[in-house]
Amino acid sequence: MEYLTILAQAATNSANNTQYVPMDYFWKQITTLSWLQAVIAVSFGAVYLLYGWRIFKILVVICFALVGLFAGIKFGSQYNNMTVWGGVIGFCLLAAISVPLMRWAVSILGAIAGGILTGGIWYAAELPEKYILAGIIIGVVAGGMISFIVYKIAVMLFTSFGGSILIVTGMLSLFYHYENTLNPPTTNTNEMFYSHHWFLPACLLLPTIIGIIVQNKLIKGSKDWSV
């Protein structure tokens, strides 16, 4: 019985230590950016956030091409000397497919953005992380339905959210680098990132809402814009 108790406690501790949300991976992406890369990310993110509706077709093709690139590299790595060709084929294939299926591609990106946002809200509310997939699925379904019903909302949603990701990543990286220049260095950004569940979702949600509001006003004022 004593051994069973020890095993049960070990299993419980292992489950409690499981990181369902890859915060370490997110933090690594932030800290590996240089000053210049962070500034470029913020700059492009601002354009993406506010004027993504003007260039959304190009952004859709780029997003799908990158997905094809990574998928092709992953698939090609399973065969000898096919990593590069797999990436090239995947890149070209998904980029080509996204052009005639633009409406579907936009709706898919809108659904993904909705899923990430609701997953972030789930994480911010400190609900059980092992069930976070349920929150993500709710957002994917809701985002997908809205995207199919109102196409412009899908455009504004995924471009605003994409811009928000770039801006937040760049800004957090700049804060991280700034803290490292202090004497002694501080770790406030790291502590906020890991200690407060609401911090990262709030940082992503606020610019996204601002982007949707601004884009909606700009679209209404642009009579020559159509999807």
Which residue type does 200 have? L
In a domain, 9, yes or no: no
Sign of CA dihedral 39, 113, 116, 22: negative
**Does the pLDDT value for residue 55 go beyond 90?**
no
Average the pLDDT over each of 83-87, 94-98, 123-127 and give the range with the smallest value.
83-87
Q: Model confidence at 74, in pLDDT bands (50, 70, 90)?
A: confident
Q: Which tops the pLDDT comparison, 54 or 20?
A: 54
Tell the burial category of 153 from Cβ atoms under 10 Å away from its Cβ (0-12, 13-18, 19+).
middle
CA dihedral 107, 112, 114, 118 (to 10 degrees): 160
Q: 179 lies in a domain?
A: yes
Give dist(CA 46, CA 209) in Å, integer: 13
Q: Among positive and negative, which fits the CA dihedral 129, 130, 132, 138?
A: negative
Is pLDDT larger for residue 77 or for residue 113?
113
**Does any domain span residue 6?**
no
Question: So what's the pLDDT on residue 8?
Answer: 38
Taking Cα atoms as reference points, which of 65, 74, 144 lies closest to residue 97? 65
| Predicted local distance difference test score (pLDDT) of residue 193 | 94
What mean pLDDT, rounded, does the chain reach?
Answer: 85
Distances (CA, A) of 55 to 42, 99, 187: 17, 13, 38
- Burial (CB count <10 Å: 0-12, 13-18, 19+), residue 16: exposed
Whole-model pTM? 0.82
The DSSP result for 62-128, as a single string, is: HHHHHHHHHHHHHHHTTSTT-HHHHHHHHHHHHHHHHTTTHHHHHHHHHHHHHHHHHHHHHHHTT--
Tally of domains in the chain: 1
Write down the pLDDT at residue 28: 93
- CB-count exposure of residue 30 (10 Å: 0-12, 13-18, 19+): buried
pLDDT classification of 71: cutoffs 50, 70, 90: confident
The answer to whether residue 126 is domain-embedded is yes
- Whether 24 maps to a domain, the answer reads no
Residue 136 has pLDDT above 60, yes or no: yes
The answer to whether residue 16 is domain-embedded is no
The answer to whether residue 59 is domain-embedded is no
pLDDT given at position 85: 84
Q: What is the helix, strand, coil percentage profile of the chain, to 5?
A: 80, 0, 20
Q: Establish if 200 belongs to a structural domain.
A: yes
The predicted structure's pLDDT at residue 75: 85
Q: Which of 79-88, 145-154, 165-174 has the highest mean pLDDT?
A: 165-174
Range of the domain at 199: 31-53+102-220
Task: With beta carbons less than 8 A apart as the criterion, state whether 207 and 152 touch.
Answer: no
- 13 has pLDDT over 50: no
Average pLDDT over residues 156-168: 93
Q: Who wins on pLDDT, 14 or 220?
A: 220
Task: Tell me the mean pLDDT in the region 25-53.
Answer: 93
Mean pLDDT of 183-191: 91
